Amino acid sequence: MTYTGDVTCEQAWQRLVENPKAVLVDCRTQAEWSFVGVPDLESIGKRALFIEWIDYPDGAPNPNFVGELAAAGVGTDDEVLFLCRSGHRSMGAAEAAVAAGYAQAYNIQDGFEGPIDADGHRGGAGWRAAALPWRQS
């Protein structure tokens, strides 16, 4: 593993509540934010950061990802929690963050919607399924 580790959605939420230096970075695409929904951290006085790891629709990696992370005010000593749809892209984002000097870069397992189930659907796991705050953007 070339990132700090994996956390569940519930653990990520607890870290966001308890640690003033914990930051949630939603690394899905603009389309996902617009059509699926986004985490809502307003009740704890925080806001999620939205930085695409992979561009939509061409699927190209965002060459400015780490620069955008720094430009958003995320410090290398912050605890950074990366969220994608299912917990796969966020691993890559966490790896890139660690390679750039971020000491605490975590992948949120199951992401926002979780893996595909036996019926070919998402939504049985992840941020929304855990009943954590979210909203349509």
pLDDT at position 12 is: 98
Question: What is the mean pLDDT for each group of 10 consecutive residues in the chain (137 residues)?
Answer: 94 98 98 96 98 92 97 98 96 97 98 93 94 94
Backbone φ and ψ for 26, nearest 5 degrees, come out as -85, 110
pLDDT at position 1 is: 66
Please state the domain extents for the chain. Answer: 5-135
Domain 5-135 superfamily per CATH: Rhodanese-like domain (3.40.250.10)
Instruction: Tell which residue, 95, 96, 89, 85, has the closest CA to residue 125.
Output: 85
pTM comes to 0.96
